Structure 1
């Protein structure tokens, strides 16, 4: 049965699609079968996939408000389903939460982004109350700047939501945008590249989190 991971945050600009596409690429590179679901009406993940030139890749499908009903039909046979959630649309956020085994909430080290997580956290906690704690949920710090005070303070601010925070995360780097424009990912970079290392660590921690 597929493990379903929703990358969700109702605020835009937090690296949601970047996380979803790169994480899907990382899991696929490790030999797992992957389906990427584009739940964003803007279709950013779909646009990204249209730029791909590699034949050996995974499918990307667009879905909408009937996600919970339709996903089981298309997810059968995959190891992972990664959902690129929709910003601002509450109904689609709720659908992603309902369908997921794990919700990863990307947030930059910005107080505005942290405050914007409140509504999504409420949706998750209401769902957890009626499903014995499912889905699991955790924060993922994205686009941080190393050795800055703000990057350290964000961890304390997110702790107020009483959800775990991944040890791993992403740092601000142009390579995420540069690889995306060609329909590729940081996974295609040299394995010693810092961004490639970041994605390996996120995938490793996700595996531990979903099985823990």
Structure 2
């Protein structure tokens, strides 16, 4: 049995942001597209704020001696949650088969992620404002503010400004990294790119060069 968890970012499901501006459920739509095209995959959806619940669900499956292959896909803060889950599952002896992160966002850097078989990381092409935002906390606010001021509204790139404030992680060590010019909110577009690359890696059992 193949199980794939889809984890949403800020305002995706049921976090504080969603209660203020509404729930987008971006990653649930990605999940539904994936499930409709692959009937043999069991899919679940949750927000980044449900990371602990998702962890307990996975551990429960393992303790019930369920035989399953685990895939994790996360967008924005959900990408960071998927990385964190991968590290947490290593302590439980549960290997993540496929890890896909879609422009992951976190205010703080991550410990190296190693508990996976394949990892594809899609991230937005980095500009000056993104580099400013690598300065913890203050840089995020400055970069996000400047991004907002220089972005004509209404514009789809408002989500990019929000991601800059959140702290885009960019390229990740140990992952197959792919830079793209898609809007931060275009999780399905990023997932499509990541899925094609992942399928190629799995079929060819390719070995990639670790990105530092």
Query: Which TM bucket (shorter chain)?
Result: 0.3 to 0.5
Structure showing greater Rg:
2
Q: Which has the higher strand share?
A: 2
Which of structures 1 and 2 has the larger relative contact order (alpha carbons within 8 angstroms, sep 6+)? Answer: 1
TM-score w.r.t. length of structure 1: 0.42
